[in-house]
Amino acid sequence: MSKEKKPFKIWKVFLGLLLAVIVLAVGAFLVLALTEYNPKDVETIAPPSGSGPVQLDTQYTVISYNTGYAALGEDADFFMDGGKTTRPDSKAVIETYMDGIAKELSALHADFYMLQEVDLNAKRSYGTDEVKYYSEHLGLPYDFALNFKSTYTPYPIPDTIGHVESGLAFYTDRAVSSASRIQLPIPFSWPVRCFNLKRCLLVNRLPIEGSDKELVMIDLHLEAYDDGEGKIAQTKQLYDLLAEEYSKGNYVIAGGDFNQTFPGAKEYPAINEGCWMPGTLENTLPQGYEFAFDADSPSCRLLDVPYKGNENPQYYIIDGFIVSSNVSVDEVGVVETNFVNSDHQPVKLMITLKP
């Protein structure tokens, strides 16, 4: 006699699949939590191995440039700006943009380079060490501070950002007495915080010949995709540091991508409803400081579509400097690169330390 077959329990299959998904999700979040980058409030960094102090009454050139991790040139769009992609189609694209950026930087013959969005090792730039590459092509020592370190960034699906190690890089052949990474407020909660940026300030202190004061150079990249509160909190911490340094009588230059427009800069109205728009820097600088920026030329463009062939780009003026009153601003302006190698253009600052 044959045995009677039991009815197929389809609900057991669904339950098994559901449990498997839950286990995988919990496991993934545990990995993220255990590997989350948790820097201290202040961390000491090995400074560039330059030699010779800076001097009073001598002109120096400073460059700030968000390099877009050599992936956001004229052919690029980006999903966070309304585009579609997370990275170029090949490493060859990265190498082309990176070579172009290195040539742009070299042609400026600056004394100090303050770079943002420089990848150390990331899926989006095919594992390329851009920090070292620029050092070799500029012939300059450097220091570096991570502001984005994620074992795995799980969005967007299916082409996820994946592994990221990226940050701020500072290049000079001048003597630097000390350097530090200063953590800025983080506007994101767990678990988003685990795979998001941990923005910071990269602070380099340079001795000044014949003076007991220092030249303090602060490389920065403030919050972009927050509700605005992150930018406000990070700007406040920056201003507090500026006030502290001014009280010591130090010479200070803070530069980078503020992701906020400067007071008095040309306004670029939104060309499309819902496109990313920057915050606004209020004219409430600490005593003894002024903004230094190009008020008429765009320093950044939106990555909703590739730049090449776009007849109506969305522009912004969000890159520039803050300098103390004992630093003479001799010249400041955007270096026109036509956004060929990055979604930003360099900003050139020429300064003299007042005696």
Could you tell me if residue 27 is inside a domain? no
Could you tell me if residue 225 is inside a domain? yes
Structure tokens at 43: 């961390």
pLDDT at 1: 47
Structure tokens at 192: 């988003």
Could you tell me if residue 19 is inside a domain? no
Could you tell me if residue 2 is inside a domain? no
Could you tell me if residue 30 is inside a domain? no
Could you tell me if residue 282 is inside a domain? yes
Range of the domain at 183: 39-353
How many domains would you assign to the chain?
A: 1
Could you tell me if residue 270 is inside a domain? yes
Q: 194 Cβ partners below 8 Å, 6+ apart? A: 29, 32, 33, 36, 150
pLDDT at 4: 52
pLDDT at 228: 87
Task: Report the CATH number at residue 148.
Answer: 3.60.10.10
> 144: how many CB neighbours lie within 10 A of its CB?
24
Spell out where 107-263 has E strands: 112-119, 142-153, 162-171, 178-183, 200-207, 214-221, 251-257, 260-261
- At 74, is the secondary structure helix, strand, or coil? coil
Q: Phi-psi region for residue 178, left (φ > 0), alpha (ψ -120 to 50) or beta?
A: beta
Could you tell me if residue 21 is inside a domain? no
Residue pLDDT tens, the chain, 355 long: 445 555 556 776 777 677 766 766 666 666 666 779 999 999 999 999 999 999 999 999 999 999 999 999 999 999 999 999 999 999 999 999 999 999 999 999 999 999 999 999 999 999 999 999 999 999 999 999 999 999 999 899 999 999 999 999 999 999 999 999 999 999 998 888 888 999 999 999 999 999 999 999 999 999 999 988 999 999 999 999 999 999 999 999 999 999 999 999 999 999 998 899 999 998 999 999 999 999 999 999 999 999 999 999 999 999 999 999 999 999 999 999 999 999 999 999 999 999 9
pLDDT at 29: 67
> 85: how many CB neighbours lie within 10 A of its CB?
18
Provide the residue type at 233 as one letter: A
